Structure 1
Amino acid sequence: MIDIKNISKTFGDRQILTSINGSFKPGDTSLIIGGSGTGKSVLLKCMIGLIKPDSGEVLYDGRNFLTSNLEEQKAIRREMGVLFQGSALFDSKSVLENVRFPLDMLTEQPENEKLDRARECLRRVGLEAAADRMPSEISGGMKKRVGIARAIVLNPKYLFCDEPNSGLDPLTSIKIDQLISEITNEFKITTVVITHDMNSMMEIGEKIMFLYQGKKLWEGNSDTLIHSDVNELNEFINANKLIREMEK
């Protein structure tokens, strides 16, 4: 369980986030949606400790991440998996080495155990055969799957995905959504996804938070999304539908 309470953030004289509250449950794929510049990625970075909010709390199973000491924060970070927007793979490392990297950095497991765990995660995302290939030799969708494998290699309790479908075609996007949802349910992970993809909202949005100009204007799920009476949300949905139609 992740709870965020009254998260606010400014940069200079610009208010980016204003008193954001929310809860994210284990086994659910929770989405944070909104247009560009609405504060989605800033909120995610506040949650994982890359940015310090001006005020508020981020609680991981009751543990206040923001006020914890350095050792406690490190312990919580070890329970996180993060899929970055551009996959953020190391070009000089093979697919297997990329997945194994967190184990090399954060554990003292024997070499054979690290290799077994990395291969197990690659099998889970359907990429065991690509273990020895380099990132330059695989497609964008495969890179996303490698990123997911790396994100789960430490058996995280919390998984964060920043625009996982960015740059992907609609069919590949659906496959990535399904994989994230399956892994979330299978391992009872608390998953938070930043997205503006309409398919994601409708297919895996067990909980959805809509941000507009740094404020939470709506919260619900994929079943209630299209019945909202929030004008800003309806405009956002309609714009996404139009983009989807243009891409067909």
Structure 2
Amino acid sequence: MIEIKDIRKAFEGRDILLGIDGTFQKGETSLIIGGSGTGKSVLLKCMIGIIKPETGKILYDGRDFHSSDEETRKAIRREMGVLFQGGALFDSKTVEENVRFPLDMLTEMTESDKLERVNFCLQRVGLENAGKRMPSEISGGMKKRVGIARAIVMNPKYLFCDEPNSGLDPLTSVKIDDLIKEITDEYGITTVVITHDMNSVMGIGEYIMFLYKGRKLWEGDNTNITYSNVEELNEFLFANKLLREMRK
């Protein structure tokens, strides 16, 4: 479980996050949604330790990430898996080498154990025959699946996905959503997804946090989001629906 309490962040005197609270449960796919510039990515960066909030706490199963000693922070980081927007693969490395990278950097596993773990993760995301290929030789959807394999290779307790469907066609997006949900359920991971994709919201949003101008204006799940009386959320939903219809 991840708890965030009164998270505030500003850059050059401009408030970005204004006291965000929320709880992300183990074994759930939790989504943070909102338009561009609402603070979604800044909140994610605070949660994974890229930037530090001015105030507030981020608790990983009760451990205060930003106030802990360096050893505790390192331990928490080893329990995180991150799928970056665009996949963030190394172009000069094969698919297998990309997935193995965290094991090379953070473990003392034997080469045979690393290879076994990499092959398992590639098989889990449906890429068991792609290990020797280069990122330039695979599709965008396959790159996202490689990114997921790399994110889970350390057997994380916490999985963060930044716009996992960015640049993908609708059918591939659904497949990526289904894969994230399956892995979350199967391994009991606490999963947090940053997205503006309403198909993801309605498909896998077991907990949804809506941000608007740095504030949390609504939280709930995909069974009650369409019944919201929050005007800003309803406008966001309508704009997404209109955009999907225009793309048909």
TM over 0.5: yes
Report the Cα distance in structure 1 between the residues aligned to 2:198 and 2:167, rounded to whole angstroms: 14
Report the equivalent of 1:241.
241
**Unaligned 5+ runs, structure 2:** none
Letter of the aligned partner of 1:165 in structure 2?
A: N
Which residue identity does 2:27 align to in structure 1?
Answer: G
**Whole-angstrom CA distance in 2 between matches of 1:89 and 1:242:** 33
Partner of 1:195: 195
Say whether residues 1:218 and 2:218 are aligned partners: yes
User: Equivalent residue for 1:185?
Assistant: 185
The number of residue pairs the alignment matches comes to: 248
Partner Cα distance (2:45, 2:163) in 1 = 13
Matched AA of 1:157: K
| Alpha-carbon separation, structure 2, partners of 1:245 and 1:172 | 18
The alpha carbon displacement at 1:246 in A equals 1.4
Residue 82 of structure 2 corresponds to residue 46 of structure 1: no
Matching of residue 78 in structure 1 with residue 70 in structure 2: no
Cα distance in 2 between the residues matched to 1:241 and 1:116: 44
1:147-198 per-residue CA deviation (whole Å, 9 max, x = no partner) reads: 0000000000000000000000000000000000000000000000000001
Mapped partners of 2:187, 2:77: distance in 1:
18
Which whole-Å CA distance do the structure 2 matches of 1:86 and 1:141 have between them? 10
Letter in 2 for 1:10: A
Q: Secondary structure at the residue paired with 1:193?
A: strand
1:94 aligned partner, one-letter code: T
1:96 matched residue in structure 2: 96
Aligned pairs for 1:76-225 (under 5 A) are: 76-225=76-225
Please, what TM-score do these two structures have when normalized by structure 2? Answer: 1.00
Residue in structure 2 matched with residue 62 of structure 1 by the alignment: 62
| Cα distance in 2 for residues equivalent to 1:237 and 1:121 | 35
Misfit runs of 4+, over 2 Å: none
How far off its partner does 1:122 sit?
0.2
Tell me how far 1:70 sits from its aligned partner. 1.0
Q: Distance in 2 between the 1:234 and 1:144 partners? A: 30
SS of the counterpart of 2:21? strand
Paired with 1:131 and 1:63, the residues of 2 have a C-alpha distance of 36
C-alpha deviation, 1:71, in angstroms: 1.0
Which residue in the other structure is 1:6 paired with? 6
Stretches of structure 1 that go unaligned for 5 or more consecutive residues are: none
1:229, 1:244 → 2: CA distance? 22
Q: Residue 35 of structure 1 aligns to a residue in which SS? A: coil
Shift of 1:86: 1.2
Aligned-pair CA distance for 1:76: 0.3
Displacement after TM superposition at 1:219 (Å): 0.2
SS at match of 2:4: strand
Distance, in Å, in 2 between the alignment partners of 1:205 and 1:99 is 27
Question: How far does the alpha carbon of each residue in 1:59-99 deviate from its partner, in whole angstroms, 9 at most, with x for none?
Answer: 00000001011111000000000000010000000000000
Q: Identity of counterpart residues, as a percentage?
A: 73
After TM superposition, give the deviation of residue 142 of structure 1 in Å. 0.2
Q: Work out the CA distance in 2 between the residues paired with 1:177 and 1:234.
A: 23
Aligned-residue CA RMSD (Å): 0.4
Deviation at 1:247, TM superposition (A): 1.5
